[in-house]
Structure 1
Amino acid sequence: MSNQNIAVFWFRRDLRFDDNAGLFHALQGDLPVLPLFIFDRNILDKLEDKNDARVMFLHDTLTAMHQRLEDKDTSLLVKYGKPEEVWEEVLRNYSVRAVYTNHDYEPYAKERDEAINQLLTKQDIPFRTFKDQVIFEKDEILTGGGDFYKVFTPYKRSWLDKLEDGMLESYTSGLSFNSWCQTKSLPMPSLEDMGFERSDIEIPANRINESLIEDYGENRDYPAKDATSRLGIHLRHGTLSIRKLVWEARELNETFLNELIWREFYMQVLFHNPQVVDTAFKPKYDNIPWRNSEDDFQRWCEGKTGYPIVDAGMRQLNKIGYMHNRVRMIVASFLTKHLLIDWRWGEAYFAKKLLDYELANNNGGWQWAAGSGTDAQPYFRVFNPYSQTEKFDKNEEYIKEWIPEYGTDDYPEPMVNHKEARERAIETYKEALN
């Protein structure tokens, strides 16, 4: 038990020391700051793969942060457990007088934070939270009528109109260690302690490639090219500042900036409509009589549909935890339209596999493909995998990279006929929606 009065900064989706809003404010206070991270069992216990690369990435990141602090005679408190139980333990062992953190907007996170806020309030401990993972949040971008935007283009216009240079300035908390709580080295749970092991999947570099961003609009739709930033995992967990990335994107490439605005568009949709986690944004789309064939779904998951661009994408996802953005749209359309399988099945599979998984974007993208989301493609638009291949992988470089048996007798025949599947999908949707 420490009798020293302290403040706690609770790391979550903001795993960096520099340009961290909540940490900046904590270090500006009068109390020494003890940093805390919780490996949340409410999340980790649901993960089926015990070599999940995302857990490894978090552990490696925290290990590096832990070492950096220990080099300065302070430490990072890392716990494994359920947040309320961990906080009860922290409050027993430390004289906490204030808690700082950054906002989180997902439904579970909001419930978790409300429970912790109530726990802290009972002990008269202020819970101070700040905006950090987005440029605009909650109700900061609204229509003239005071509602959230349901269409991207006017949202983007409003977002750009409101953007000011000052919003992108860095929170220069630095590592002024005089403000940190001086503690001896604190033990950190290992991956094995939490029931996990290391993954063979490689984590993309946390580096802004300026030349790639400059050519992003020209090259981003071609999956055989190494032309996407792969920064999604770093934005998801805050190892990269959104302010820094938006500043670079604004200077370098409008198309890349648009993708960052799409991220915030879907986050505000989820914030205002938490029900979209389980139901269609457009309720009538929940009337679609999905076929939901387990066998068809398994072939889609394994990349054995007989549609090469679809199979290449699924095999890329299964192998490296990533799928090219153009191909994500193709495989999602194929699942929901060609196979008439519920978008929630595909969303859950992506959530299990994607390194850059983020609830708002994943949900928004799948509902877009299914036609059920905000600003979604119309239900009668069914991507043609063959024409998409002709446009974006004409020489089949991407396909051949991920399907070694392509062009041999070992590669399966198409599991459905495109024309027939398209007509079936349109008719099924039409009957359900009218």
Structure 2
Amino acid sequence: MNDVAIHWFRQDLRLSDNPALCKACERGGLLPIYILDDVTAGPDAMGAASRWWLHEALAMLNRQLGGHLRLYRGDARQIIPALAKSYGASSVSWTRCYEPWRVKRDKEIVDRLQALNSESIRLNGSLLWEPWDIKKQDGTPYKVFTPFFRKGCLQAIPPAAPMAAPEKIEYASALADDGAVALASLGLLPDIAWHEQMVPHWDIGEEGASKALERFLEEGLNGYKSGRDFPSLPHVSRLSPYLHWGHISPNQIWHALEALEEGDIPARDMDHFRSELAWREFSHSLLYYNQDLATKPLQNKFAQLEWRDDPVALTAWQKGKTGIPIVDAGMRELWQTGYMHNRVRMIVASFLVKNLRTDWRKGEAWFWDTLVDADLANNAASWQWVAGCGADAAPYFRIFNPVLQAEKFDPEGHYIRRFVPELASLPNKYLFQPWTAPEPVLSRAGVTLGQTYPLPIVDLKASREAALEAYHALS
């Protein structure tokens, strides 16, 4: 096999159901590569949690590839054509990504490969449907989720059946001087050992993704529609980082649902989980058609909203020291695990944007840096949804009361006690708002407000009224 086929791994870090990789294996001896390109990423370069995950994922992928994965660092617009020329590659394949900077970069690379007579193979392996495949009858993209899901996704051509991993891979001989570097040279691990606490919470890689899906189907899907809102229950898939990094494809998940025996899982649970997969598709559609989704509100009037600039309050929110237990629990879960339960994500985001009146983009930036599933489309679309300025967003005047949310969705306090252990001995009556507890109750629980646990940094009622006043000023 004389032809060399380069496969450029990006967010498709798996061997199974990888159409672009399979195509490369058909074309010639495989040269599998990964490029850490912070040059063209600019402000969208990966955050710290993502970089840690990537470090582990690349090590795992390299083992799957028998040690043949080649790593590079720099501008992919320069590296890809240079490799194609050095190896005389007949083709370069990759799985499409939809971030604006990647779309722009990929077009430039295609042009440069064409000048070298090297074919560029670009295939979908990240979404159930391409963004341009789900549109309204008039040809415009959907701006409201429900018709996107019901009329768009569910009426579209069903997702393709997953492909098997290549049975056998013939590898191209690597050149000693092609610029490849060692994994450690990518500098992906944090300077401090913050990431070490996340390690026990994740089984990174393709096999870990398969186990997570199997566990969810067996233990979490039944009861998903209602149970997914309770952070101490197992009715969450935790598949989001595996989907983002491509350790598993959405097609594999969709068809795993289809393979379940009819009647095993209530239809309402199946439908709701499919809608969550569709929300991911909707977010990517929004990003594809609104390239400044992460920086500009989709509803223009919100560009005039006046935000408070309070670095002390922002830091308290980031560190989980706001004095509001459910908010602090969520932010500490994020810091300790690189993940946060979805219901709690909405609570902490609403608190930041509406009670603290802090620009939603600051919250988006913190999530970008600390989430292992940080995804530009999902992150930006979800923050705009909570802030009330996005497509099909929750109205700005919908302000989550974090105390009522905690009482409803963590009624026994299991989640709060896990992540805010200094409040563990408080009775449920006061756990959700410890500032209302009598001094003897606090003393028996070993709680000293302002010392062992902070007083609330904002009055919930007054801050809600201030947020509504700011919103009405836009009208």
TM-score (norm 1): 0.91
How far is the alpha carbon of 1:136 from its aligned partner?
Answer: 1.1
The alignment status of 1:63 with 2:59, answered yes or no, reads yes
Structure 1 distance, partners of 2:333, 2:309, is: 23
Instruction: Report what 2:11 is aligned to.
Output: 13
Question: Which of 289, 299, 303 in structure 2 is aligned with 1:272?
Answer: 289
Question: Quick one: distance in 2 between partners of 1:69 and 1:298?
Answer: 42
Shift in Å at residue 266 of structure 1?
0.7
Identity of aligned residues (%): 34
Correspondent of 2:36 among 32, 35, 39: 39
Distance 2:251 2:46 in 1: 33
Instruction: Indicate which of 390, 393, 399 corresponds to 2:410.
Output: 393
Cα contact 2:131–2:288 (8 A) shared by 1? yes
C-alpha distance after superposition, 1:180-225 (max 9, x if no partner)? 4355899964453223437311224422121212332232111122
Specify the alignment match of 1:302 in structure 2: 319
**Partner Cα distance (1:21, 1:162) in 2:** 24
Question: What SS is found at the alignment partner of 2:31?
Answer: strand
Change beyond 3 A, Cα 1:390–1:339: same
CA–CA distance in structure 1, aligned partners of residues 413 and 283 of structure 2: 32
Please point out which of 91, 106, 112 is paired with 2:84: 91
Which residue number in structure 1 is paired with residue 374 of structure 2? 357
Question: In the alignment, is residue 411 of structure 1 matched against residue 453 of structure 2?
Answer: yes
Q: Which range moved further: 282-291 or 16-25?
A: 16-25
In 2, Cα distance between the equivalents of 1:58 and 1:24? 22
The one of 248, 252, 266 aligned to 1:244: 252
Distance change >3 Å, CA 386–CA 68, structure 1 → 2: closer
Change (3 A) 1:376 1:120: same
The answer as to 2:475 corresponding to 1:428 is no
Aligned pair partner of 1:169 in 128, 153, 161: 161
Aligned to 1:114: 107
SS at match of 2:94: strand
Q: 1:295 to 1:146 in 2, by over 3 A?
A: same
Shift of 1:158: 2.2
Whether contact under 8 Å (2:84, 2:118) holds in the other structure is no
Look up the match of 1:337: 354
1:131-210 → structure 2 map (5 Å cutoff): 131-165=124-158, 167-178=159-170, 180-183=171-174, 189-197=181-189, 199-200=195-196, 201-202=198-199, 203-204=202-203, 205-206=208-209, 207=211, 208=213, 209=215, 210=217
Query: Is the CA contact (8 Å cut-off) linking 1:27 and 1:173 kept in structure 2?
Result: no
3-state secondary structure, aligned to 1:28: helix
Q: Give the letter aligned to residue 161 of structure 2.
A: E
Q: What is the match of residue 284 of structure 1? A: 301
Separation in structure 1 between the aligned mates of residue 400 and residue 372 of structure 2, nearest angstrom:
25
Give the deviation of 1:107 after TM superposition.
Answer: 0.9
Cα pair distance change 1:326/1:112, threshold 3 Å: same
SS at match of 1:63: helix
Taking a change above 3 Å as real, the CA distance of residues 308 and 80 of structure 1, as seen in their structure-2 partners, is same
Q: Is the 8 A contact 2:49 2:369 kept in 1?
A: no
Q: 1:49 to 1:266 in 2, by over 3 A?
A: closer
Query: How many Å separate the matches in 2 of 1:340 and 1:380?
Result: 13
Aligned-partner residue type, residue 388 of structure 1: Q
| Letter aligned with residue 402 of structure 1 | F
| Cα displacement (A) at 1:11 | 1.0
Cα 1:53–1:332 change in 2 (3 A) is closer
Q: Distance in 1 between matches of 2:347 and 2:298?
A: 21
- The 1:328/1:192 distance shift into structure 2, 3 A limit, reads same
Conserved in 1, the CA contact under 8 Å of 2:81 and 2:109? no
C-alpha distance in 1, partners of 2:14/2:180?
A: 18
In structure 2, relative to structure 1, the CA distance for the partners of 1:152 and 1:196 (3 Å cut) is: closer
Q: Give a deviation string over 1:153-173, Cα, whole Å, max 9, x none.
A: 0011123433455x3312235
Q: How many residues of Structure 1 are paired with residues of Structure 2 in the alignment?
A: 424
**Higher mean displacement: 243-252 or 363-372:** 243-252
Post-superposition Cα deviations, 1:218-239, rounded to whole Å, max 9, x if no partner, equal: 3211112233111111100111
TM-score, length basis structure 2: 0.83
Give secondary structure in 1 for the equivalent of 2:253.
helix
RMSD: 2.5
How far does residue 429 in structure 1 lie from its aligned partner after superposition? Answer: 0.9
Note the C-alpha offset of 1:355.
Answer: 0.6
Measure, in 1, the Cα distance between the counterparts of 2:411 and 2:40.
Answer: 41
Q: CA deviation at 1:4?
A: 4.6
Question: What does residue 118 of structure 2 align with?
Answer: 125
Partner Cα separation in structure 2 for residue 170 and residue 340 of structure 1: 45
CA distance in 1, matches of 2:380, 2:46: 21
Any gaps of 5 or more consecutive residues in structure 2? 427-446
Give the aligned partner of residue 389 of structure 2: 372
* 8 Å contact kept, 1:104–1:110: yes
Contact 2:33 2:69 (C-alpha < 8 Å) held by counterparts: yes
CA distance in 2, matches of 1:334, 1:112: 37
Q: 1:123 to 1:49 in 2, by over 3 A?
A: closer
Q: Which runs of 5+ in 1 are unaligned?
A: none
Match of 2:342 among 309, 325, 333: 325
For 2:331 and 2:278, the matched residues in 1 are separated by: 26
Moved more, 201-210 or 295-304: 201-210
Name segments (4+ residues, structure 1) moved above 6 Å.
43-50, 184-188
- Give the AA of the match of 2:54: L
